[in-house]
Amino acid sequence: MDQTNARLYLCTDARKDRGDFADFIDAAFAGGVDIIQLRDKNIDAAEELEYLEILRTVADRYARLWAVNDRADIASLAGAPVFHVGQTDLPLASARSLLGAAALIGLSTHTTEQVDAALTTDVLDYFCVGPVWATPTKPGRAAVGTHLLSYAAARSASAHSTRPWFAIGGVDLGNIDQVVDAGATRVVVVRAITEASDPTDAAQRLLARLPALG
């Protein structure tokens, strides 16, 4: 598995309130999730490393990818194959210098200018476009709407770029068709799977709505 054939990317917290992290990520991978990112601001570094070891074990069983958010030091210590940053986090060149050539590095984009930069930089492996809709996981972040997805799709096509990009922000079964109609072929989700009673089924349903790559 690499980022070029990944379509469904899941972000989840450590689920400490439910105590089912291992079972949950197993169910999500079983449903076809390609990448799982642990994103939890309420755990310390030592706890995060413990949860990442669980994530690594389950991901390896399914031959899937797993990701660390924001903290390049933790990504390095955990040996994470994927590292994701925001526009105001660690600069991409610094992340690459720390993590080396093997790591896949992703970036969040929110404007046309940021999309253009993401398509042209040599440091980046993938990027996310959004938030398409307002989401509680990013309070205060204005929604960009589907027009930025259309822009990203058009710019990517005109540049003949093969760099993967994902729509992110409030994407679920109720609106994923709008995302696809706007030109996205890959999505990042949170609540669409984390709040599902059956994570495996939820992942399968989302994947069924996404176009095949290639």
Q: Give the Cα separation of 184 and 169 in Å (integer).
A: 13
Mean pLDDT of 49-71: 97
How far out from the chain centre does Cα 211 lie? 18
List the beta strands (DSSP E) in 47-181: 65-69, 82-85, 104-109, 126-129, 165-168
Mean pLDDT of the chain: 95
Q: Give the pLDDT confidence score for residue 142 in this predicted structure.
A: 85
| pLDDT higher than 80, residue 90 | yes
Average of per-residue pLDDT across 195-209: 98
Residue 175: what are its φ and ψ, rounded to 5°?
-130, 5
Residues 6 or more apart from 160 whose CB is under 8 A from it?
A: none
Q: 2 or 45, which is more confident?
A: 45
Predicted pLDDT at 2: 66
- Look up tokens 């991978």; give the residue: 29
Say if residues 182 and 154 touch (Cβ distance below 8 Å).
no
Are 179 and 167 in contact, with CB atoms under 8 Å apart? yes
The average pLDDT across 68-76 equals: 96
What pLDDT score was predicted for residue 3? 65
Asked if 167 and 135 count as a contact pair (C-beta separation under 8 A), the reply is no
pTM score of the predicted model = 0.96
Instruction: Please tell me the predicted confidence (pLDDT) of residue 214.
Output: 72
- B/e letters for 143-159, b = 16+ CB within 10 Å, e = fewer, are bbebebbebbbebbeee
Given a cut of 90, is residue 75 above it in pLDDT?
yes
- Binned at pLDDT 50, 70 and 90, residue 7 comes out as very high
Angle subtended at Cα 115 by Cα 109 and Cα 117, rounded to the nearest 5 degrees: 110
Q: Give the span between the Cα atoms of 3 and 165, in whole angstroms.
A: 9
What distance in Å separates the CA atoms of residue 49 and residue 52, rounded to the nearest whole number?
5
Average pLDDT on 132-159 reads 89
Distance CA 37, CA 80 (A): 10
- Average pLDDT (33-40) is 98
